[in-house]
Amino acid sequence: MFEFNYRTIGLFEPVFHSHTYYEVYYFHEGKCNYLIGDTIYNLAPGDLILMYGMTLHCPKIDPAVPYIRSIIHFDPALLRPYLELPQAVPVMQPFEQFKNYRLCLRGADKVELERILEVMQGHRQRGGQVGESRLILAFVDLLNFVYDRCLQPLSEQREFPTDKEKSVQDVIALLEDRYTDDELNMERLQQELHLSKSYLAKIFKEVTGVTIFEYVYRKRINEAKILFLLHPSLAVTEVSLRLGFKHLAHFSRLFKQQAGLTPERYKKQLKEQRTSIQRVGMADEFI
């Protein structure tokens, strides 16, 4: 699996999402706070983000200015032939070790990264077997570039532009720890963070683009999908209770809103996909 979108322009409704593939995101221009898991990144042109896709993430953009980014989604299995070459370096290490990480590219580094993206776009536009092959080779070059920049120590303290964003970071860190608590409410957040409910609600929406409980419910439904995938024997009721829902009907309604299917239908679809894959595997044995 490999998808490359170069200098994408356009507005969209921000939605927290996750996926099973890895992502390289490059910010060309605009104003954007990127929320990944429990971390907020206030982006500047030249920022490149490595993403371990299963982490819930969502950009919050300013629609008043152009928002331009390049995005690459890929399956690490694609890189296996290149990683087995004699002089290959472990280009997946930054993803595996840091999960999600930002590189702030400036000056010559920014120019070089943008040149690689432009080369990739040229190969993609050419198309055909040679174009596709050179596109992947250029992407491997990009990953080598990233790996080289990640060799430096990554322990520096990240700074927040404002006290408001630091407060939202504190909210998210607390939510990441308590999102399955069935007693989670604004009063408890107010008590633990020592900030008023109205202020917490206002700054969270302002920085992330969603309300606090929209974030919590997105997080819960995302985790439900993962539980259904990794533990197919779990009942829908059990998953609902594990994730802090007091009422199954509430869980089912939110799940269908976000996934487009009821939890039961989602589980059935996963089962059908597993069965189909098993059949293909059995058929391959006789080829």
CATH number at residue 198: 1.10.10.60
Q: Does 157 map to a domain?
A: no
pLDDT at 159: 54
Task: Check whether residue 49 and residue 182 sit in a common domain.
Answer: no
Higher pLDDT, 226 or 253: 253
Summarize pLDDT for 1-34 with one digit per residue, the tens: 799 999 998 766 667 777 768 899 999 999 998 8
Residue 29 lies in a domain: yes
CATH number for 58: 2.60.120.280
User: Do 92 and 223 belong to one domain?
Assistant: no
CA 216, 217, 221 angle in degrees (round to 5)?
120
Query: What angle do helix axes 248-259 and 263-284 make, rounded to 10 degrees?
Result: 60
67, 13 in Cβ contact below 8 A?
no
Residue 277 is predicted with a pLDDT of 59
What is the rounded CA–CA span in Å between residue 146 and residue 12? 28
pTM: 0.62
195 pLDDT above the threshold of 60? yes
Cβ-proximal residues to 68 (8 Å cutoff; 6+ apart), any chain:
7, 8, 9, 27, 28, 29, 30
69-117 pLDDT, tens digit per residue, is: 999 999 887 888 888 888 898 898 888 778 789 999 999 999 999 999 9
Note the pLDDT tens digit of each residue in 139-170. 999 999 999 998 874 445 455 567 888 788 78
- Is residue 280 in some structural domain? no
